[in-house]
Structure 1
Amino acid sequence: MTKGYLVLETGEIFEGDWIGALKPVTGEVVFNTSMTGYQEMMTDPSYAGQILTFCYPLIGNYGLNDYDQESKKIAVSAVIVNDLCEEPSHYQSSRTFTEQLEDEGIPGLKNIDTRELVSVIRQHHTVRGKIVDDMEKVKELSWISETERNLIDLVSVKESVTFDNNGPHVVMMDFGYKKSILDALLNEGCKVTIVPYESSITDIHQLNPDGILLSNGPGDPMQMKAQFSKIKVITEQYPTLGICLGHQLIALAHGAKTKKMPFGHRGGNHPVKDIISGKVAITSQNHGYVVEEGSINKATFQIQFQNVNDGSLEGIKHHYLPIQTVQFHPEGHPGPSDTAYIFKQFIQQVEAAGGEEICGSAIL
């Protein structure tokens, strides 16, 4: 079995056994605390460019299937696991964890002390790493920062695609959407058109949408600065929901600021409090940036959601326009569905608007 090494920019070296494609890779090393859902995590476009560490010690025991892909291919650059099961047991399993990696050319390491690795990440905060099969190759790989490349271009659709249905028409601006978000809208009866994030206001208006959804996606939200003015106009004209990166982009478009978190929120057990109702829900999350609460214009937006653990901002709601954003994933997958009602609230706003422009401003 080929030995492999994870070399962190902070100097630590972790030795394990190679799995998947035998090729070196570099990226930000992140961790997810969920006990299940490794297939959904690997195929979540928000992980593009990252080396994903699974905290749960046993990975692969129920295999992979043909139903739980969040995108058409694996999005992560590489994976790190502790104990890997090569003989999965589940009636829907069609391939093993390793087979999926090999088929898609993704490398990884197993038999890594993931508890120690997570401890190092928490200590150093944002950490980049290199995965190599020979320590002599470490110098051959350059450190790549997420700000040096547009990860969203790698995962966004290039052409619009429409999924017909009988309900209101929702246009999803794609920054790296998860299939389960699309499924949630379709299950509510919505007709959905997914458009490239660079689509113009005119292009979107010609689709005659009843509402707009800004999707999740990878990378630093400030890389989308050129889209802020367009996003602001669109949100002022149509009922809008922003999820994860979409939440950050809407906040930025309306004058807020974002910052990099020490090691992000990635897992399926993050408690979030609804400030309006006082209720707490357990949520699924995957993000490395956060909107600074102090930068929100309180005359325009109300803080609606707050993380119970660290107090970080988890969602805002416009005082008089049908604009709502959430940092967490109401569709779950993987994770709880406590906040699936967010989609119902959004659709109610869409239907209440009746397809009319909500502030009478001219389409640019």
Structure 2
Amino acid sequence: TREITVMLRDKGAMKAGIFTGKQSIKKMVEKVKRSPDIVGVDLVRYVIKDKPYIWCDSGRYKVVVLDCGVKYNTLRLLAERDMKVVVMPATTPWEEIDKEKPDGILVSNGPGDPAAVPYVVKTLSNLIEKYPMFGICFGIQVIAQVLGGRTYKLKFGHHGANHPVKDMKTGKIYITVQNHSFCVDINTLNESDVEITHINLNDNTLEGIEHKKFPVFAVQFHPEYAPGPPDAVYLFDRFKEVIEKNKRD
């Protein structure tokens, strides 16, 4: 185990295989090499439902959750904040979302390469100036692409429930839940439009952004926790505040 840990630390994430029975080392290695990579692969289509559905049919504010692989606790936390929650698949045309006339849009977490879902980027491109928007994990990666950013695969992803993240506005440090293999290249974002709000203290990678003109913000970590520390759950309250302010304006 220690040898494998050192290898991954030095060389980064890599393909691996677990085999039973007697097989030659050469054949096993060949099978591993032939196994598909996640770079360039759209995994979102495999984890979403085919049709929209209503998670919570009552609430003061109507929120569309663009489902890229959403977790139930995200939906629960929205409902607890007096929000009617309509879940729509990531493949939904933007016109269908626009017909819902939501008070806000949450772009959920999800698996795979964010660069492999141009249909999501296209959808958000048509909505980002019209509605308040909150992105989580995969959500920040696709929102960043709408804003001109690019993503890349990390040497080894961020996984676990103890990642320190700094809020650049307040200086506070939060312990966060993370589970991603891709990240937004911080150097590809236009600083005149996008503010960097959160940074990972382990490797200085991007953890949060906010648009300077539109009511749009997103984080790379998981504020919905469950399991994990609830340090960042306040972001759901902030989403509600953004929606309320947008309605007043």
Fold match (TM-score > 0.5): yes
The CA deviation at 1:167 is 2.5
The verdict on how the C-alpha distance between 1:154 and 1:125 changes in structure 2, with shifts beyond 3 A counting, is same
The verdict on how the C-alpha distance between 1:125 and 1:188 changes in structure 2, with shifts beyond 3 A counting, is same
Unaligned runs of 5+ in 2: none
Query: Greater CA radius of gyration, 1 or 2?
Result: 1
Does the 8 Å CA contact 2:129/2:214 hold for their aligned counterparts? yes
Letter in 2 for 1:145: D
- The count of aligned residue pairs is 243
2:156 alignment partner in structure 1: 263
1:151 alignment partner in structure 2: 43
* 1:118-145 residue CA offsets vs partner (Å, 9 max, x unmatched): 3322222120112221242735563211
Q: Pick from 340, 345, 348 the counterpart of residue 238 of structure 2.
A: 345
Does the 8 Å CA contact 2:40/2:115 hold for their aligned counterparts? no
Does the 8 Å CA contact 2:40/2:113 hold for their aligned counterparts? no
Q: Pick from 103, 113, 120 the counterpart of residue 220 of structure 1.
A: 113
Distance 2:22 2:136 in 1: 40
2:6 alignment partner in structure 1: 119
Q: Pick from 19, 23, 30 the counterpart of residue 132 of structure 1.
A: 19
The verdict on how the C-alpha distance between 1:179 and 1:116 changes in structure 2, with shifts beyond 3 A counting, is farther
> Which deviates further from its counterpart, 127-136 or 175-184?
127-136
Does the 8 Å CA contact 1:210/1:355 hold for their aligned counterparts? no
Distance 2:164 2:22 in 1: 41
Letter in 1 for 2:49: V
Matched, 1:172 2:65: yes
1:275 alignment partner in structure 2: 168
Distance 2:211 2:223 in 1: 19
The verdict on how the C-alpha distance between 1:286 and 1:140 changes in structure 2, with shifts beyond 3 A counting, is closer
Distance 2:187 2:3 in 1: 35
Letter in 1 for 2:6: S
Does the 8 Å CA contact 1:271/1:309 hold for their aligned counterparts? yes
**Residue aligned with 2:140, SS:** helix
1:305 alignment partner in structure 2: 198
What's the RMSD between the two structures over aligned residues? 1.7
Letter in 2 for 1:125: G
Does the 8 Å CA contact 1:209/1:355 hold for their aligned counterparts? no
**Residue aligned with 1:131, SS:** coil
Unaligned runs of 5+ in 1: 1-112, 357-364
Letter in 2 for 1:350: I
* 1:300-320 residue CA offsets vs partner (Å, 9 max, x unmatched): 010000011111110100112
Quote the sequence identity (%): 36
**Residue aligned with 2:109, SS:** coil
The CA deviation at 1:188 is 1.4
* 1:176-216 residue CA offsets vs partner (Å, 9 max, x unmatched): 11111111111212111111101111100112211001110
**Residue aligned with 2:160, SS:** strand
Letter in 2 for 1:130: G
Letter in 2 for 1:131: I
Matched, 1:189 2:93: no
**Residue aligned with 1:231, SS:** helix
1:327 alignment partner in structure 2: 220
Q: Pick from 290, 293, 299 the counterpart of residue 186 of structure 2.
A: 293
- Given the two structures, how large is their TM-score scaled by the length of structure 1? 0.64
Does the 8 Å CA contact 2:223/2:233 hold for their aligned counterparts? yes
* 1:298-350 residue CA offsets vs partner (Å, 9 max, x unmatched): 11010000011111110100112110010001111221111111000011111
The verdict on how the C-alpha distance between 1:132 and 1:316 changes in structure 2, with shifts beyond 3 A counting, is same
The CA deviation at 1:355 is 9.0
* 1:265-315 residue CA offsets vs partner (Å, 9 max, x unmatched): 101111111111111111111111111111111110100000111111101
Distance 1:291 1:123 in 2: 22
